[in-house]
A and B are shown apart, each in its own frame.
Chain A
Amino acid sequence: QKEVEQNSGPLSVPEGAIASLNCTYSDRGSQSFFWYRQYSGKSPELIMFIYSNGDKEDGRFTAQLNKASQYVSLLIRDSQPSDSATYLCAVNQAGTALIFGKGTTLSVSS
């Protein structure tokens, strides 16, 4: 059973701090990795995708991928209350299904 694991949280950080969200996956053949943000009652919204080992930065967000350790992370710098949401890690399997973790709930306090 191919799995994606995330800590459910909640992860609580003060406004302006760095939030670090982590994800591990079981399928070594996975090729692409995604972070989605989901506000309560809404659908998932793409934040970032990453295909290669290393870091990828987009504004306040940095995705990090380590295929040898089967580990993906998302860093959010200068966290804002509007970043409070559930963050879903997803792995693309064989170009078809996205396999999701259960999500990590982030709470940013002002």
Chain B
Amino acid sequence: ETGVTQSPTHLIKTRGQQVTLRCSSQSGHNTVSWYQQALGQGPQFIFQYYREEENGRGNFPPRFSGLQFPNYSSELNVNALELDDSALYLCAMARERGETQYFGPGTRLLVL
């Protein structure tokens, strides 16, 4: 049990819509990272936040955006959804940058 929670667990959207995924932790994790995992692939890094500032970004378009809040929770927002956005979205938290990242249970997004 990592203490990292995500909501919702499953979500179905249609192409062009917007979605917000949420992640929270019971402990003081200063670092939150978001990953996208397509079927049969390893997780792909979207971005990381450290103390509410973006601390690195992977090869994802600007329609993927995020926030980290003072209570260590975080949001991933995806605008103008595309069919290829269908995936498992994973949040991972760590106490500090560079430390071990622990994953939440994920949100499975299906875009129709």
Residues of A within 8 A of B (CB): 4, 31-32, 34, 36, 42-46, 49, 88, 90, 92, 94-103
Contact = CB atoms under 8 A, between A and B. Distances in A.
20 contacts: A34-B100, A34-B101, A43-B88, A43-B104, A43-B105, A43-B106, A44-B90, A49-B100, A88-B43, A90-B42, A92-B98, A94-B56, A96-B56, A96-B97, A97-B33, A98-B35, A98-B43, A98-B45, A100-B35, A102-B41
Contacts of B41: 102
A36 B40 CA distance: 15
Contacts, number: 57
Given A43-B103, A44-B103, A100 B43 contact: yes
Contacts of A102: 40-42
B99 to A, nearest CB: 9
Given A31-B98, A44-B90, A97-B33, 20 more contacts: A32-B98, A42-B106, A43-B88, A43-B90, A43-B104, A43-B106, A44-B43, A46-B100, A88-B42, A90-B42, A92-B98, A96-B48, A96-B55, A96-B56, A96-B98, A97-B56, A98-B35, A99-B45, A100-B35, A102-B42
A95 B97 contact: yes
A102 B56 CA distance: 22
Contacts of B78: none
A74 B18 CA distance: 40
A22 to B, nearest CB: 15
